[in-house]
Amino acid sequence: MSAELTAESTTRWVTVDGLKLRYHEAGSGPPLVLLHGSGPGVSGWANFGANLPVLAEHFRCLILDQPGFGASGRPEVYDRNYLRIAADAVIGLLDQLELPSAHLLGNSMGGAVATLVALEHGARVDRLVLMAPGGVGVNALGPEPSEGIRRLLDFTVEPTRERVLAWLRTMVFDEQILTDELIDNRLAAASDPAAIAALRDAYATFANPAFAEQVPLWARLRTLRNQVLMLWGRDDRVTPAEGALLPSRQLPNADLRLFGRCGHWVQIERKAAFERAVTDFLTDGL
């Protein structure tokens, strides 16, 4: 199966609210929507393409490029919080594919989107996997924004190879993962003016008081009844691991797994363990 699962062979398209969105589809079984994080050159495939062969053995995997990222279109104007724009895209994807519900797996910003979808469309979400999710953890011990977010913002101001490398270094525990090919591919994708504009505009909505949520995600967690698995790298410099403490106590049906020798990219640095944890959690009791 793995030889057939290329970015090209799995590419599909769907139109939601006038936006043409790309997603990658493979496998059969319970539907699993995978939501990438933010950052220079990010896409659904960049985040989860390497995990697809294993996960597609158990699930109908749908890896979405969220609006403005990867090859997906974006609204002309971001007129509300980006998390809501992305959450509507997830529901639109389920509607277009005629899926009454699905498991959601979200990394970083994608974890925030998955949480928002579950909070406001609970019947459409089965189980949740949140991997170092944004907006859900509370970093009580370190500075805000975190080192990783500061390096990301630096890149959006001046998109150079040095700055994308500085950002990538905050994402991992073992810098040997950062090959020249990976760096060059990320820089090429991130240097597209449209991609830079989309990233800047999405982040601008988070800082705009007019788009602020009345109640932040972390303060709503007690009302989320779905079964949740949280995965966190012990050495995460983007969403530090101590941020997991509050949601692990507030979420009524949550488990937390902490991975040593691992930064923000659990799915890459602890690939096999990540895939086992996700598969075991989503198939338990079925």
DSSP secondary-structure letter at 161? H
121 catalytic residue (yes or no) = no
- Name the catalytic one among 36, 58, 103, 264: 264
Q: How far apart, in whole angstroms, are the C-alpha atoms of residue 59 and residue 78?
A: 33
Are the beta carbons of 55 and 85 closer than 8 angstroms?
no
Convert 260-271 to b/e letters by CB count within 10 Å (16 or more is b): eebbbbbbbbbe
Residue 59 per-residue DSSP state: S
Structural element, H or E, at residue 273: helix 271-283
Contact criterion met (CB below 8 Å) for 279 and 231: no
Neighbours of 242 (CB within 10 A): 15
Q: Which residues belong to the active site? A: 264
